[in-house]
Amino acid sequence: MTDSKAPILSVIIPAYNEENTIEEIIRQVDAVDLPIEMVIVNDCSKDRTKEILESLETKHPKQLLHHDKNQGKGAAIRTAQKALTGDIVIIQDADLEYSPVEYPKMYKYFVERDADAVYGSRYSGNEVLVDSFIHYYGNRVLTFYSNIMTNLHLTDMETCYKMIRADFFKSIEIECDCFGFEPEVTAKLVKAKSRIFEVPIYYEPRIYDEGKKITWVDGVKAFWYITKFNLFR
């Protein structure tokens, strides 16, 4: 980044029925020592997510946005895309699978290495809580297929931790309302000839009993999204 001021990181938090974890994740984002703006999108949660969000005080500035109808993670990211004002963007799920302590390590690449995007990889040899067989290999296969299509060598295409220059991020049309956002943005970064770095991150997978919403159907749909955004755009 050419600007001499420390770039502002817009942290997009899509949240749907996350009453058990929303307060703790916001507390963790708030504790990060970087210039941060939080853009939280409550996607018509049916539980106490909205009330909790409205009652929270934070040190970093925050924008709190609400959907009247549940629309999906991609749609929530699109709402935040229009509202954010920072220089760099990261998506932060509202559960506790990804840890905001990783932000400074990723942010550094924008300041020192002129990155366009930095992917936090769950699968590049770092210490993690052991994942289920199906979730791990599902992710590996999707990454492998995406890599064939993009001719990149990522180890984790589906990671939620994608830190991206805001000017590029704001310029793309996010077409997917659902979890197809990950292959979509990856294909669009590659088509724009972006400088993409990858760094290892800590990851603690949650199970369905803990509120995980993505299913094998989303995994199957991802094959179509990888094909569509690489071949038909």
Ligand X SMILES: Nc1nc2c(ncn2[C@@H]2O[C@H](COP(=O)(O)OP(=O)(O)O)[C@@H](O)[C@H]2O)c(=O)[nH]1
**Binding region for Mg ion (CB under 5 A):** 93, 95, 97
User: For residues 37 and 85, is the Cβ–Cβ distance under 8 A?
Assistant: yes
Mark 55-74 with x for binding to ligand X (rule: CB under 6 A) and - for no binding: ---------------x-xx-
229 makes contact, choosing from ligand X, Mg ion, none, with CB < 5 to 8 Å by partner type, with none
> At closest approach, how far in Å is the CB of 151 from Mg ion?
28
**Residue 19 touches ligand X, criterion: CB under 6 A:** no
CB-CB contact of 114 with 1 (8 Å): yes
Is 200 in a helix, a strand, or coil?
A: strand
Edge-to-edge strand order for the sheet containing 9-15?
62-66, 36-42, 9-15, 88-91, 162-165, 117-121, 196-200
Q: Is 37 in the site for ligand X (CB under 6 A)?
A: no
Helices 133-150, 181-191: inter-axial angle, 10-degree rounding? 30
- What are 61's two structure tokens? 């500035």
- The entry of Mg ion, ligand X, none that residue 70 binds, CB within 5 to 8 Å by partner kind: ligand X
DSSP letter at 93? -
For residue 45, the minimal CB distance to ligand X (Å) is 8
Nearer to Mg ion, 131 or 168 (CB): 131
**CB of 82: closest distance to Mg ion in angstroms?**
24
By CB under 6 A, the count of residues binding ligand X is: 18
Query: Which residues have C-beta within 8 Å of that of residue 108, sequence separation ≥ 6?
Result: none
Rounded to the nearest 10 degrees, how much is the dihedral formed by the CA atoms of 138, 144, 146, 149?
-150
Q: Does 16 bind ligand X (CB under 6 A)?
A: yes
The nearest distance, CB 66 to ligand X, in angstroms, is 11
* Residues binding ligand X (CB under 6 A): 14-16, 18, 41, 43, 70, 72-73, 76, 93-95, 97, 160, 212-214
